[in-house]
């Protein structure tokens, strides 16, 4: 996994797991790799993955079954969407993005069409 310098590695791993839940790669109540397995897969220290899993548990994205491992929580999708919306607002990312749209003259109608085009390009079979 390639990491960026502007965000803690454990949060980048959490984002990746969140993406996999949102796109259906990880199923609700489905087992996720153990700390050691995940650490080996993405080539990071097991302590970093343990921190990621602790963060995801506290966020309501995963839960543990004693002796069996970690699983995707029933409300994981809701938790991830809620958290990401909050992050967009808190970090000012949305303000920056909207400011850039204004600066280059993209209108709300232009943005709507760009978003529709994006969704169509992402659709299965496209």
Q: Average the pLDDT over 5-21 and give the result.
A: 94
Domains and CATH numbers, the chain: 9-76 (1.10.10.10), 92-122 (no CATH)
The pTM score is 0.80
Contact between 11 and 55 under an 8 Å Cβ cutoff? The reply is yes
Distance separating alpha carbons of residues 27 and 78, to the nearest angstrom: 13
Above 60 in pLDDT, residue 126?
no
Q: Give residue-wise pLDDT tens across range 74-122.
A: 999 999 999 999 888 887 788 888 999 999 999 999 999 999 999 999 8
Contact between 32 and 69 under an 8 Å Cβ cutoff? The reply is yes
């Amino acid at each position: 996994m390639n990491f960026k310098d502007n965000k803690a590695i454990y949060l980048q791993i959490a984002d990746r797991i969140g993406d996999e839940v949102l796109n259906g790669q990880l199923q609700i109540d489905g087992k996720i790799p153990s700390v050691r397995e995940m650490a080996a897969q993405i080539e990071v220290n097991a302590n970093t993955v343990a921190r990621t899993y602790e963060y995801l548990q506290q966020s309501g994205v995963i839960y543990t079954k004693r002796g069996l491992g970690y699983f995707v929580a029933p409300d994981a999708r809701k938790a991830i969407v809620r958290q990401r919306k909050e992050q967009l607002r808190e970090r000012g990312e949305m303000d920056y993005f909207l400011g850039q749209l204004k600066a280059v003259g993209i209108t709300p109608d232009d943005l709507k069409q760009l978003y529709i085009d994006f969704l169509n390009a992402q659709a299965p079979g496209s």
